[in-house]
Every structure is written in structure tokens, then in C-alpha cells.
Amino acid sequence: MSLGESSEQTLDAAWSIPAIDVGSFDSLEVLLGGIVAAVVIAVIVIPLLLFGVELIIAGLVVAAGIVARSMFGRPWVVLATPRGDTAGALAWEVKGWRRSAQLIEGVATELAAGLTPSPLEGPERVTRDAG
């Protein structure tokens, strides 16, 4: 079965996509605008996107670390360091967010009153080399 010449031309015309005229780079302004746009994309947009991806990954790693520390019962270290004197640092190991928040509040209250902080009922006071 053979199609006639006019049938082939009709099919070609039906399936052809007209070309879109976007202009040419005859004018200097259009060429310079394209170059500037390419430089801006290459120098600003792409690094910002990559930095954003890095921040998302870093946030996920930190979140996973917090969840893992909480799930496996590793203690948080609450550290009280006097200004200018790192040798007098006090540290406590506390399990749990709520207990660490209570310890921080208690230590801050005692320090504000001019007292030497003592462990609350449970957290173990540890000595650390601050250096």
C-alpha cells in the first residue's frame, strides 16, 4: 500500500512543529545580557543551592545525633565555666532533656546567689580538664 505524494506532504505538514523565532544574537545588548545571566547563575545561584543542600544534610546529621543520644541513654554534659577561668569549670553528666534543663536552672540559680553549685539529686558531678 503506497501513499501518494500529496498524502505524504499532508502528513509532514500535520506533524511539523513550527519554529519559534526567539531572535538572534545580532544585538550586543542581548549577548551581554545572556553572558551576565550565565555568570550570575554560575557564580551565585548554583553555590547557594549546593550550600542549601549541605545545610539540610548537616541538620539531618545533628537531628539524628540528638535522637540517637536520647534513645541510647547517653548522658548530656552540663558545663559551667567561669568567665576568664577555664580551670574552675564544673561539669555534670545528666540523662534526659528534662533533667538537664532542671540542672541548668538550678546551677544558674546557685551561681547567681554566689554559691558553689552542688549536684541535684541524681546527676553525677564529673571533673574535666578544660584546655
Q: Which residues 6+ apart lie within 8 Å of 37 measured at CB?
A: none
List the grid coordinates of 23. 531572535
Q: Is the pLDDT of residue 1 over 60?
A: no
Question: Is the pTM value of this prediction over 0.75?
Answer: no
In the chain, pLDDT over 90 holds for what percent of residues? 8
What average pLDDT does the chain have? 76
Split at pLDDT 50, 70, 90, the class of 60 is very high
Contact status, residue 95 vs residue 88, Cβ threshold 8 Å: no
Q: What angle do CA 87, 91, 92 make, to 5 degrees?
A: 170
In the chain, pLDDT over 70 holds for what percent of residues? 69
